[in-house]
Structures are given as structure tokens and as C-alpha cells.
Amino acid sequence: MIAIIDYDMGNLKSVSKAFERVGADVCVTRDPKKIQASDKIVLPGVGAFPKCMENLQSYHLIDPLLAEIKKGKWFLGICLGLQLLFDESEEFGPVKGLGILKGKVVKFDEQSKLKIPHMGWNQITCKGGVTPPLLKDIPDNSSFYFVHSYYVDPTDKKIISTETDYGTSFCSSIQKDNILACQFHPEKSQKWGLKVLENFKNLK
């Protein structure tokens, strides 16, 4: 079973429905016992970074999440679910994140002529030509759907799986051991987005 964490910030219905379309057994929950009993964990996120952290704390979800990730359980962060993994965010901040990964969440350059938030379809490119597990059987430079004004800047560049260009080249997905996360929304990315979720479902 895949536990999709409910902390009043994710587009839970679309994420759960997308996983169901690829044959996954999912449970939308904030119950620590169900999280512990799950095979994999998904942390989606839509909204502001500080509110996300506040809700995770108020629902007492931080310790259960950290414990299961530490055990080596597969974890997928989506959009803010990626950003929350890092030390801190500039959004209404600095605001402390979960600190699982070293680095910061920074805003796109407001002086650029590009529209912020970065919203719509954009390509992702595998770093170093290496295909990460989430992108198995997905062509490099495929397009995915993004909605965000901030992006992650990892201290350890080796954890960056893919990059995307929007005025600057930014990290659009990461992997470190059992932790996988993407800035784009696979549940909104049609064919290849569903393939990402299927690949996550099939991880052993």
C-alpha cells in the first residue's frame, strides 16, 4: 500500500486517482499507524511553504515521516513535497524545512522577463545522461507540468536527477537513496506523468 500524506495542503484527490489509474493500492491518511504499515510514502504539496510545515507539525506527522524515511522506505515528494525535504525556504522566510537534505529553496529571479510563477509544460533533462528510476522508459527531454515560484538548490549537486530551464537551469527532481522527489506534478502530466507514478509503484 502507498500512503499519501494528508496534511490539508496537497491536491490529494488528483494524486490518489492518478495512482489508482496505474493500479496502485493507495490510502490517503494522517494516521501514523497507517503510515508505518505502508510500503511506500507520498508527500504531495500545494500552497505556501510555511503553512505546509505548520500543518505537518500540528498533525504530528514529522516524526512518523522521518522515522519511515530513515528505515529506508521508498518516499516520493511532489512539488512542495520536494521543497520541504530541505533545510529552509526563502518563501515568507527564511522558514525551516524538514532538514532531511542539505540545501535551500530559493525564488526565481524577479528581475527576469519570465513570468512567475513558472506555470505550464516544460522539459526535464536527465543529469549526466543517467536515467533515474522514476523516469524508466520515459524519453529524455519529455515535458511535464509545473506550477511554482520557488525551486530547490541542493548543497550536494550529486542528488540532482533532472534539470529544467526557465531563465536558469534549476533542479526539477532529485534522488538520494530511498528518497525521490520532483518539482513537477506527475498527476497533471498525462502519459509520462502516469508512467512516473507507475515506476514509483513498481520500485522494490
**Which are the catalytic amino acids?**
79, 185, 187
Q: Extract the runs of DSSP E, i.e. beta strands, from the chain.
A: 2-5, 26-29, 40-43, 74-78, 86-89, 95-96, 101-107, 118-123, 125-126, 143-148, 150-154, 160-165, 169-176, 179-182
What CA–CA distance (Å, rounded) separates 159 from 181?
10
Contact assessment for residue 66 and residue 98, using Cβ atoms and an 8 Å cutoff: yes
Find where cell 537534505 sits: 101
What CA–CA distance (Å, rounded) separates 203 from 85?
20
Strand 2-5 with 26-29, pairing:
parallel
